[in-house]
Amino acid sequence: PRDDYMRYMDAESQVEQMTHWRAFEEAVRRQIVGIQTKYIKPERGTSEFALMFIPSEAIYYETIADNNYLGEPSRISEYAQSHHVLPVSPNTFYAFLQIVILSMRNVEIISGAKKLQEGLAELQKSFEFFYNKHEEIGRRITQTAEAYRVGNDHIERYKRRLDTTLQLEGLQEQSLPRLPEGEGEER
C-alpha cells in the first residue's frame, strides 16, 4: 500500500491521483482481508480483532479519514471496522499498548482484591466460630458459677439445720466432727 500511496501523493493530475488512490485503497483492503484471514480466529483462541500497523502517520491519517486528499469519501476505515481490523500508527499503537497494559494491571488488581475478599470472608467465618465457642464457654462458666452458688446455699442451709439439730440433741461436740470454718462458704 505504501508505494500506491506515494504514487497517489506524487501524481500531477487529478486523474492520476484518482487512479493511484483507488489502487492504494484496494491494496489496503487486501491487507485488511489478509490480516482478518490470518489472525482473527476466535475459535482457536485469538481475539476478535486484529491490529494493522501503519508505520507512517500520514498514511495512517489517510486510512482513517472520512475524505481523502482530493476531498472524495474514503471508506477504508469502515471497511477495516467491518472486518474487525483496527488501523494503528506509531503514536496510536503506543497508546493502544498502554491501554492494554493498564487493563492487565486492573485485572491483576481485581484478582488480588477478589483473593483478599475471599481471605477476609474466611477469616470472618473463623472468627465467628471462635466467638461462638467463646460465648458458649462464657455461658457454661456462668451456669457453673450459678450451680455452685445454689449448691453452696444448700450446703449452708443443711449445715445450719445440722448444727441446730445437733445442738438440740447435745451431740454436736460428742460424736460428729464439726465442719471446719470457711468450708462451704463462698470464696
H/E element, 83 = none
Confirm whether 152 is domain-assigned: no
State the average pLDDT over residues 71-75: 82
Tell me whether residue 57 is in a domain: yes
pLDDT at 187: 46
Tell whether the model's pLDDT for residue 176 goes beyond 70. Answer: no
Shortest CA distance to 58 belongs to which of 7, 12, 9?
9
Binned at pLDDT 50, 70 and 90, residue 32 comes out as very high
Q: Report how many domains make up the chain.
A: 1
Q: What stretches of the chain adopt beta strand conformation (E)? A: 50-53, 85-88
Between helix 57-64 and helix 90-169 the angle, nearest 10°, is: 80
Query: If DSSP codes are grouped into helix, strand and coil, which group holds residue 67?
Result: strand
Read off the pLDDT of each residue in 9-20 and give the average, rounded to a whole number.
90
The mean per-residue pLDDT over the stretch 10-36 comes to 92
CA distance linking residue 118 with residue 80, whole number of Å:
43
Average pLDDT, the chain: 87
Q: State what percent of residues in the chain have pLDDT above 70.
A: 90
15 within domain boundaries: yes
**Average pLDDT for 125-139:** 94
On whether residue 136 sits in a domain, the answer given is no
Residue 178 is predicted with a pLDDT of 58
Q: Quick one: cell of 19? A: 487512479
